[in-house]
Structure 1
C-alpha cells in the first residue's frame, strides 16, 4: 500500500468536511454516504446531479449544502418557459448613458441550486454548458468570469414522470456525479417526523465554513498523489465502456478526468494523501453511469447502465501495490 502514497499535508481536509457533513445531517438524516459524495464533488471542482422521485429530500440536500458554506448562493427554478437569459443574465439598454449594461444572472454565485432542471427545455438547459465547463459566461460577445469556487447542484425527477425533458448528452457529461437520495430507513424517517414536525431545520442552519476555506481545501486536494498504475486503471475502466457491445455511448475523456479528481477528493476526505483502486471502484457508478447509453437490445434485455458498469468493474483487472495487475 505504501507504493501508492506520496507525502502531503492534508490534515485540515477531514476536519472541515466532517463539519459540513454533520451540518447537512441536521436536515437530511441517515444519508452520510450521499452527503460525503456531494462534498467530494465540491472539492473536486465538479457539479452534482441529484435524481430521484419527488419528496425524498433532493432540494433539501442541495439547499443544506449551500447554506453550510458562507458564500454566495443563488437558486434557479427550472420551468418550461425558462429562457437562457434567465440563467446567464442579459444586456439592458440604459438610455441615460446610451449604452448597454450587463445584468448578471443567477449563475454568478459560488453555489447554484438548479431545482428540477429537466422541467426546462433543452434550449434553456444549454445556458449552463459554458458555465459548467469553462467557468465563464459569454453574452453579446463579452465573456464574464464566474466566481471561485463555482458548483452547480441540480435536482431532477425521473424522466418517466410527466412534464420532464431528458437532459442532452452534453449536459449530462458536465455533471461530475449523479446520485439518488433513496427512501430513508425507518429510524431516520422517525427522526424526521420528530425533528421536522414543528419547524424546518433548514431555517436554523448556519454556515460552518466559508469560500476561502473551500478554496484552500481544493488546493490541498490537488496535492493528493495518484500512482501510475491507478491512472492506468482509470483508463482501462473507461475504455471498457467504449468497447462494450451493450453500450451505444461510452464514457468520455472528461469522465476519466472527473473520476480521478473525485477520487482525489474522496481520499482526502478519508484522511489519505493517496488514491487507492478501491476509491475508483467506489466512485465508478456515481461518476460514470449517467454518461452511458445502452443499446436498444440491452434495454430490451433489461441490462441497465448500472448493471453493465458493475460487470465491467468486476472484469477489469485491478492494479496491486507493486504496480502490477491482479484479477479477482
Structure 2
C-alpha cells in the first residue's frame, strides 16, 4: 500500500467514475484500475462493487475511504507547513470577506499589508458568506471573515470571534423621524428600510422586540450587498439603513448620518469572526491579519465613543427647569 493508491481511491470516489478519475490524475484508465485492484488485493477485501457502468463503494470501502482522506490531507498539510515555514513573511494569503466585513475591514487590510508587509501576496475576495465558505472548503481561500451568526456550526470549520460592535438604525441628518425619537416600528415602516442580508439571529431579535411586522423579510424594502452604497442612499434620501455604526464612521463624523433610536431599544450588535478549516496549517500572514482586525475594531470603537461625547455633553449642559 502506498500514498498514491490512497489518492487514487479518493479521486475515484470524488469524480464518480474511473474515466474521470484517470483524467484528473493524468493516468490511463487501465493504470488506475490496476492501482485500485492492487489495493483491494493487499487488504483482502473488495472496496468497490462494479455494477454495470456504475461503481459503488462497499461498506468496507467507505471505511477505507474515510481513513484515506485523512492520510492524504495530513500528507498535504505536512508539505504545506514546510513550505510556509520556508516562506516566512514573503508568502501569500487568500481571504474572503462577506459584505459587512468588507465594508469594515477591506480598505484597512489592504493599506496595512501594502505599507507594512509589501512582500506578502494578498488576495481579498468579496462575496456572500456561503459561496466564500465553499471556496474555503475547496482550499481556494485560507480564511473567511464573516458574520459569526451566519456560519453554521461544523466540525470542519474553526471560528475565531472578533469583538462585538454596536449596530442599529441610521438616517440622514434632518430626517422627519428624528423629531419623534424613540420611534416605534410602525413609524419606521412608513419609510424605505435598507439593509444587507441579515442573519437569522438579527431577524429573531427584531421579531422578539418589535413583533412579526419587524421580520426583515417584511421590514426591509431595499437590499444590497454593498454596505457603502446603502449608507450613501440613506444619507441622500429618507431611507433608513440597518447596519453597523462602525461602517458609517465617516458619514457619522461629518454629520451626514445619525443614529435613530427605536422603542423598545434594539440593542443589536455585529459579531464577526475569522473562519478557517479545522486541522489546516494557517499561513504566517493570517496571524498578522488577525492582529490588524483586532486593532481596527479597537480604533473604531474609540472613534465611536469620541463621536458620542459631544452629544452627551450637550445633554448635560441643558439648563434644568426653573433654573
- TMscore range, shorter length: under 0.3
Structure with higher RCO (Cα < 8 A, 6+ apart): 1
TM-score, normalised with respect to structure 2: 0.22
TM-score, normalised with respect to structure 1: 0.21
Higher helix share: 2
Larger radius of gyration: 2
